[in-house]
Structure 1
């Protein structure tokens, strides 16, 4: 199998790495996290101008003819620089949900706005107690004749604090239905906070939020397959981010050991530390291979095979990411645990990734064909 990039993909990889190296230094990132929104609107507009917000979407999806490979390229570079802009939540997960479920008019409206950087959209699907089971939804939507009334609570919504629109999943008599809701609509309460890696996330409390019938995205009661597909794309994007973080932590540690001295010699001359660096390299390359396996799984027409491939990649990559970034901290010593040094922030990103979209246990169970049931 040929894993080499074509000319356009190679150019995308070069452009995103060049921008992150030039404009996304660690101190710049720290400044963004302390800002009111937690990311740069100016940089988001640049992403749109460069075509990155539509790089992972096909021409029919109002994108630029790409797919999961383009998403992987971007997310790996974003993981290396610890980018905090809501690319994963908006341009990957929300966009994929609309592409999978929306009708022609909804795709034209929402996807073109996402790709053009004109609207930030987040999928509000996760709930407390879901534990990786996408069907365990307690938010309820009731038809009132002229539209729908939605009540419930969504937790840990990526990109939620800055979203213009939410794609809210809710239980209806015939199954799970997806609704488009303005983030500032009456009855929507936003509870924003920081994730462990510093990015902004939010819980949303929906108190009898009323929407019209045209707010329904996709078939009434039939949204779950599209949501699961969108989340699987999000998982693979997250894993690419992990591989980027692992790779950056690995080579940052190599450079540190080449300069830090102990007993009159640099640390890279100690054989025990060389062995640990070799183990980190092996784990990183294995994770990269599993990422490619996960990307390939997204093309499976059988949802069960797709889910199994994605879950296998999720377990392997996130566990390896936590291991490699933790080793990087240990090999740096005391400086590795300071807020002012970047290596500890790679670990925080890896720890967050391990728990997002279902933890290790739920994905092992999904891979084995026995998804975790909702908590009683």
Structure 2
């Protein structure tokens, strides 16, 4: 298997890094986070013009037909600059669910607006009691003539403050289903929550919110399985974002130790610090390899997908903390100053480690999968000929 990037992928990687470096520096990010909206609508429209918002969607739906590898390149660049616009939430999570479960009309309306940069859907699935059991949902939708009444609460909805439509999971006679609910629907209360990394999410209260029957997505589909697959795609993307952050931390640390002088010599001249930075570099490469496996596993049968994605999240959760802590130590107290991005990268890695499943959650999920001797001993990228999901 050729694991090298194609010429088109290399071009995407270079253009994404160049665009975000020029248009999204650390100072601008600070202004966006401190603004009333917490989002730069102009950047979002530019991302649409560049084709990023259409990248993962099929050509028949108006998209560019890109895959998870292309998404990983965008997410690495996003990680480097700590972009807070809801690319993961709206494009990968919510957009992916609409493409998988939406009717032709729903895809045209929601995906069309998303790809044009005029709409930002958000997936509202997590609940307080859910933990990492994605099926533990208490929100209900009751049929009432030609409509459904949705009752329940959702917490920490990614991209929620910027959303114009929510994809709300709810139980209909015990079966988990998904509904497209306008953000201004009567009976829905949206409360903004600021997260540790400066980004924003929303808590939702739905008090008998009425939606038409046409708001239901994928009536006959296995919605829970599709949500799990969407979470895995998003987790693979988060792994790539973490790799971008770790590389940025590594580059900033090396540059700092070359410039900072102690006892008449740059810090980089001290062998003990060289060894510590060498260990950081090893951890970065371990994370990159794990993220690549996650990226290549998202379209595999479920067991292989879980092994690749949760294995990567568990590994990256461990090594990213080491890299972030070393970067802080080697910068000294100035690493936590608001004028430098080191602390912001540190906080974003912490947020990633606790998003869409914690490191412990993913380690447990990975462990359950590799109990199967076939999974434990088999190829990482090819399913055994005699085995199926």
TM-score under structure 2 length normalisation:
0.92
Contiguous gaps of at least 5 residues in structure 1: 371-376
Aligned to 1:99: 99
**Alignment CA distance shift 1:101-1:221 (3 Å):** closer
Query: Is the CA contact (8 Å cut-off) linking 1:139 and 1:152 kept in structure 2?
Result: yes
For 1:171 and 1:324, locate their aligned partners in 2 and report how far apart those are by CA, in whole Å.
42
1:221 is displaced (CA, Å) by 7.2
Matched, 1:329 2:328: yes
Query: Is the CA contact (8 Å cut-off) linking 2:139 and 2:169 kept in structure 1?
Result: yes
| DSSP-derived class of the 1:2 partner | coil
Query: Is the CA contact (8 Å cut-off) linking 2:101 and 2:221 kept in structure 1?
Result: no
Query: Is the CA contact (8 Å cut-off) linking 1:172 and 1:221 kept in structure 2?
Result: no
For 1:44 and 1:237, locate their aligned partners in 2 and report how far apart those are by CA, in whole Å.
18
Matched, 1:58 2:58: yes
For 2:158 and 2:252, locate their aligned partners in 1 and report how far apart those are by CA, in whole Å.
28
The C-alpha deviation readout for 1:112-160, integer Å capped at 9, x for no partner, is 2111112110000111121211111111111112211111111111110
| DSSP-derived class of the 1:178 partner | strand
| DSSP-derived class of the 2:14 partner | helix
1:308 is displaced (CA, Å) by 2.4
**Alignment CA distance shift 1:308-1:175 (3 Å):** farther
Matched, 1:169 2:169: yes
Aligned to 2:384: none
Q: 1:79-158 counterparts in 2 under 5 A?
A: 79-158=79-158
- Equivalenced residue count is 369
For 1:355 and 1:129, locate their aligned partners in 2 and report how far apart those are by CA, in whole Å.
16
For 1:319 and 1:128, locate their aligned partners in 2 and report how far apart those are by CA, in whole Å.
25
Query: Is the CA contact (8 Å cut-off) linking 1:287 and 1:320 kept in structure 2?
Result: yes
Contiguous gaps of at least 5 residues in structure 2: 370-389
Query: Is the CA contact (8 Å cut-off) linking 2:98 and 2:106 kept in structure 1?
Result: yes
1:199 is displaced (CA, Å) by 0.6
| DSSP-derived class of the 1:179 partner | strand
Query: Is the CA contact (8 Å cut-off) linking 1:174 and 1:220 kept in structure 2?
Result: no
1:206 is displaced (CA, Å) by 0.7
Q: 1:189-268 counterparts in 2 under 5 A?
A: 189-219=189-219, 222-268=222-268
309-318 or 75-84, which deviates more: 309-318
Aligned to 1:40: 40
For 2:132 and 2:313, locate their aligned partners in 1 and report how far apart those are by CA, in whole Å.
12
TM-score under structure 1 length normalisation:
0.95
For 1:217 and 1:319, locate their aligned partners in 2 and report how far apart those are by CA, in whole Å.
37
Aligned to 2:24: 24
| DSSP-derived class of the 1:368 partner | helix
Larger RCO, structure (CA 8 Å, separation 6 or more) = 1
1:174 is displaced (CA, Å) by 4.2
